[in-house]
């Protein structure tokens, strides 16, 4: 009797379940609309990390809210192509929720929201475990949660319901296609009516005003550069002809023995140019609410008072160093690229690009990069090759011993000797050295780390915020000392030198326009120094104008983009100026290269990692049966290779590394020993000039 009752109950449950499924299928479009709205709201709560702010977004930006919902509704249309529709709904919902959660986490560490190009930086993120960006614990939690989600989806795929009716595949395909057309038309109408922006001058503000779903979708669909409507060979020739005429006026020319016309940049004693990116650097006295016990940047301020300086408008806030770097080195405007794009991770993966390095190399300069962070971060090793640099000394090639109080980043003092080495590596040439600092990098601790700070800071709204500002200001104070030591080193060299220093973006501290004397969170500062009497000509510039403006003062007129800027008036608001710049950028990166007469004028270089030549001199078996290898220029990133296989290695000094006993005992006569400098993803940046054959002694 009991069994019969249980069977009836199960049959009843099954009928009720079937009715529920049938009900959901019948009104699925309505449920998709409700689900899309619910997902947008939850995503905005995650992104804004505030229920109240999400409600404000719904009330004050209702059109944007429902447009975001339309995007999710559109993605939901693909469920009709599958029998396991419930599973697909869950997968799509989890996908959007996961993106929203990631954005919330990203915004807790930086100002710039999460975009499509950030997915290309995942490999960079994974190299930063146990830093203030990404801890080992967070990495483990992410892996566990993703594994749990995959397990749940697999179980649901096996046990979950299937659509029992007729699939109507043709109708489903037509519906999806129709939704695509509707989405395209709706987007065009929203752009034309200015209800939704097609370009975010301020990415963070754009995501805030128009929602994460729309912002992220824009970063997926709007990548690279669109072809300018007036792009043509005649247009480019007209621009380059104007530039050439301006260059001839500004420069004198000589004729080489070969009969080739060369500019005075190649024929005269040209100055070294040192360009220094100051990570997250700003003048703290620019912050209206902060009070400090003394001036944190007296050396930078002295340069600003006595040499050419000004505000610098950069394309990013709180993060995105590579994009400020791209503008400075190429003279190109990030505004013409897609939302949140990193050209280092997109077009420069496959295309060489004219830069200040290739321009100066063409007139005899040696060109170098020095950076106390990983060579693969932001795909820099590849990008600097595409830019035409000769050498790149990354942290893997440096014997770094000093770190910030948190231990997250190297201090910048090592960059002075490494910059000097780069200059010394080409004694018969003038040099361009691009030096990238890292000491000012975030994030900044809420707890008090510095017991006796050199500079006391107050004025922030909370104790935690004040601790963050105090830590930041004292690190910037150390960077200012680095600036003094750098100018002292350059002053001692008997070489004409132009030094350009600039902040890449403001720190990740939630600053708003009204908090700053400049009134703009996209403005940092730049300053210069020289030892050959250049006139001080202060000017506020965009990052893409910086090197054109400063090298012009030194009499350097080289390159397509840089001479274009020099021929103009550095007027960022002039539409014609921006239109011509857009055409030149497109022509060089995506077009037919009419400005080079269709040839590859600036090919990628065979980038050399580091300027030192390294060797192995000897090896010795130790009492504990380990093997010591002696040589030169070893670092914490040195790894012993046996027969081209990487082995665990203990770094002792720049002259000694050790192969642990358990591996040394496996060595056999005739094995080949060498030492390599290894970056992330097991990239070998440099190998000792010689290898040694092992024999047991």
Average pLDDT, the chain: 88
What DSSP line would sit under 138-196, residue for residue?
HHHHHHHHHHHHHHHHHHHHHHS----S---HHHHHHHHHHHHHHHHHHHHHHHHTTSS
pLDDT exceeds 90 at position 202:
no
Sequence-ordered strand ranges (E) for 340-417: 366-371, 391-393
* Residues contacting 201, CB < 8 A, separation 6+: 335
DSSP state of 571: -
> How far is the C-alpha of 618 from the C-alpha of 251, rounded, in Å?
54
pLDDT exceeds 60 at position 371:
yes
Q: Which of 444, 417, 513, 114 is nearest to 279 (CA)?
A: 444
pLDDT exceeds 70 at position 552:
yes
Here the tokens at position 411 are 């201090």
Preceding omega of 165 cis (within 30 degrees of 0): no
Strand 650-653's sheet: what is its strand order? 616-621, 627-631, 656-659, 650-653
CB 612 within 8 A of CB 364: no
> How far is the C-alpha of 233 from the C-alpha of 240, rounded, in Å?
11
CB 344 within 8 A of CB 334: no
Question: Average pLDDT of 51-60?
Answer: 92
> How far is the C-alpha of 631 from the C-alpha of 620, rounded, in Å?
12
CB 234 within 8 A of CB 351: no
Grouping H, G, I as helix, E, B as strand and the rest as coil, residue 253 is: strand
Here the tokens at position 64 are 């944007």
Q: Is 407 left (phi over 0), alpha (psi -120 to 50) or beta?
A: left
Render the burial of 378-390: b for 16+ CB within 10 Å, e for the rest: bbbbbbbbbbbbb
Half-sphere exposure of 296 (CA within 13 A, CB side): 28
Helices marked H in 492-524 = none
> How far is the C-alpha of 577 from the C-alpha of 153, rounded, in Å?
54
Strand pairing report for 457-458 and 391-393: unpaired
Between 217 and 479, name the one with better pLDDT.
Answer: 479
> How far is the C-alpha of 634 from the C-alpha of 630, rounded, in Å?
9
pLDDT band at 609 (very low <50, low <70, confident <90, very high): very high
pLDDT (0 to 100) of residue 268? 55
pLDDT (0 to 100) of residue 130? 45
500 φ, ψ (degrees, to nearest 5): -125, 125
Angle, alpha carbons 322-327-331 (nearest 5°): 150
User: Does the pTM of the predicted model rise above 0.95?
Assistant: no
pLDDT (0 to 100) of residue 328? 98
Q: Which of 636, 200, 117, 638 is nearest to 378 (CA)?
A: 117
Grouping H, G, I as helix, E, B as strand and the rest as coil, residue 643 is: coil
pLDDT exceeds 80 at position 262:
no
The alpha carbons of the chain give a radius of gyration, in whole angstroms, of 29
Sign of the four-CA dihedral 216, 220, 225, 229: negative
| DSSP bridge pairs for 428 | none
| DSSP bridge pairs for 529 | 499
> How far is the C-alpha of 347 from the C-alpha of 353, rounded, in Å?
9
Report percent pLDDT > 70 for the chain: 88
pLDDT (0 to 100) of residue 250? 67
DSSP state of 396: G
> How far is the C-alpha of 553 from the C-alpha of 621, rounded, in Å?
59
pLDDT exceeds 60 at position 1:
no
pLDDT (0 to 100) of residue 125? 52
pLDDT exceeds 80 at position 119:
no
| DSSP bridge pairs for 53 | none
CB 284 within 8 A of CB 511: no
> How far is the C-alpha of 278 from the C-alpha of 204, rounded, in Å?
22
pLDDT exceeds 70 at position 11:
no
How many helices, marked H, and strands, marked E, lie in the chain? 22, 22
The pLDDT tens digits of the residues spanning 298-350 come to 999 999 999 999 999 999 888 889 999 999 999 999 999 987 788 998 899 99
The pLDDT tens digits of the residues spanning 681-696 come to 899 999 999 999 999 8
Helices marked H in 27-61 = 28-48, 51-60
> How far is the C-alpha of 643 from the C-alpha of 621, rounded, in Å?
18
Here the tokens at position 656 are 């000694």
Sign of the four-CA dihedral 152, 155, 157, 162: negative
Here the tokens at position 118 are 């950030």
> How far is the C-alpha of 55 from the C-alpha of 61, rounded, in Å?
10
Angle, alpha carbons 212-178-194 (nearest 5°): 45
Exposure of 111 by Cβ count < 10 A (0-12 exposed, 13-18 middle, 19+ buried)?
buried
pLDDT band at 220 (very low <50, low <70, confident <90, very high): confident
DSSP state of 225: -
The pLDDT tens digits of the residues spanning 409-451 come to 999 999 999 999 999 999 999 999 999 999 999 889 999 999 8
* Residues contacting 60, CB < 8 A, separation 6+: none
């Amino acid at each position: 009797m009991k069994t019969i009752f249980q069977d009836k109950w199960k049959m009843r449950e099954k009928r009720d379940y079937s009715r529920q499924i049938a009900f959901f299928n019948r009104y699925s479009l309505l449920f998709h609309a409700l689900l899309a709205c619910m997902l947008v709201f939850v995503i905005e709560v995650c992104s804004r990390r505030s229920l109240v702010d999400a409600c404000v977004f719904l009330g004050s930006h209702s059109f944007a809210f429902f447009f975001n919902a339309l995007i999710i509704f559109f993605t939901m249309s693909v469920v009709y192509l599958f029998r396991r529709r419930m599973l697909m709904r869950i997968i799509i919902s989890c996908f959007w929720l996961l993106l929203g959660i990631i954005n919330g986490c990203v915004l807790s560490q930086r100002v710039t929201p999460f975009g499509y190009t950030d997915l290309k930086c995942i490999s960079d993120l994974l190299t930063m475990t146990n830093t203030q960006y990404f801890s080992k614990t967070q990495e483990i939690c992410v892996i566990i949660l993703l594994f749990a989600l995959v397990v749940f989806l697999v179980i649901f795929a096996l046990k979950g319901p299937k659509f029992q009716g007729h699939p109507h595949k043709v109708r489903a395909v037509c519906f999806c296609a129709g939704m695509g057309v509707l989405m395209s038309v709706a987007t065009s109408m929203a752009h034309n009516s200015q209800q939704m922006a097609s370009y975010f001058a301020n990415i963070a503000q754009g995501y805030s005003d128009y929602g994460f779903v729309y912002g992220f979708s824009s970063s997926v669909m709007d990548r690279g550069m669109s072809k300018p409507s007036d792009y043509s060979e005649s247009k480019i020739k007209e621009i380059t002809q104007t530039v050439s005429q301006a260059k001839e006026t500004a420069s004198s020319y000589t004729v080489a023995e070969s009969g080739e016309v060369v500019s005075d940049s190649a024929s005269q004693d040209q100055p070294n140019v040192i360009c220094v990116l100051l990570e997250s650097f700003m003048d703290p006295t620019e912050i209206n609410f902060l009070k400090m016990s003394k001036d944190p940047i007296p050396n930078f301020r002295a340069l600003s008072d006595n040499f050419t300086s000004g505000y610098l408008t950069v394309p990013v806030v709180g993060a995105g160093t590579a994009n400020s770097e791209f503008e400075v080195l190429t003279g190109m405007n990030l505004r013409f690229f897609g939302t949140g794009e990193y050209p280092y991770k997109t077009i420069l993966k496959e295309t060489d690009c004219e830069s200040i390095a290739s321009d100066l190399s063409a007139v005899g300069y040696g060109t170098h990069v020095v950076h106390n962070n990983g060579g693969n971060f932001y795909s820099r090793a590849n990008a600097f090759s595409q830019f035409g640099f000769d050498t790149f000394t990354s942290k893997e090639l440096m014997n770094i011993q000093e770190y910030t109080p948190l231990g997250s980043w190297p201090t910048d003092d090592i960059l002075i000797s490494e910059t000097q080495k780069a200059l010394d590596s080409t004694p018969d040439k003038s040099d361009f050295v691009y030096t990238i600092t890292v000491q000012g990098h975030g994030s900044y601790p809420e707890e008090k780390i510095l017991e006796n700070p050199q500079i006391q800071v107050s004025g922030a709204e909370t104790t935690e915020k004040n601790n963050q500002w105090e830590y930041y200001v004292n690190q910037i104070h150390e960077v200012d000392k680095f600036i003094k030591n750098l100018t002292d080193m350059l002053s001692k060299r008997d070489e004409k030198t132009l030094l350009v220093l600039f902040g890449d973006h403001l720190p990740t501290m939630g600053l708003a326009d009204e908090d700053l004397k400049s009134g703009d969170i996209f403005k940092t500062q730049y300053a210069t120094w020289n030892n050959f009497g250049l006139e001080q000509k202060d000017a506020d510039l965009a990052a893409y104008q910086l090197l054109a403006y400063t090298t012009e003062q030194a009499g350097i007129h080289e390159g397509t983009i840089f001479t274009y800027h020099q021929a103009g008036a550095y007027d960022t608001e002039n539409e014609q100026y921006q239109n011509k710049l857009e055409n030149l950028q497109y022509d060089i990166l995506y077009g037919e290269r009419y400005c080079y007469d269709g040839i590859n004028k600036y090919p990628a270089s065979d980038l050399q990692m580091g300027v030192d030549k390294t060797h192995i001199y000897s090896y010795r078996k130790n009492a504990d049966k380990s093997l010591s290898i002696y040589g030169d220029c070893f670092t914490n990133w040195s790894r012993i290779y046996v027969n081209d296989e990487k082995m665990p290695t203990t770094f002792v000094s720049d002259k000694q590394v050790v192969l642990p006993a358990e591996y040394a005992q496996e060595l056999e006569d005739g094995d080949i020993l060498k030492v390599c400098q290894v970056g992330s993803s097991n990239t070998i940046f440099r190998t000792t000039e010689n290898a040694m054959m092992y024999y047991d002694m």
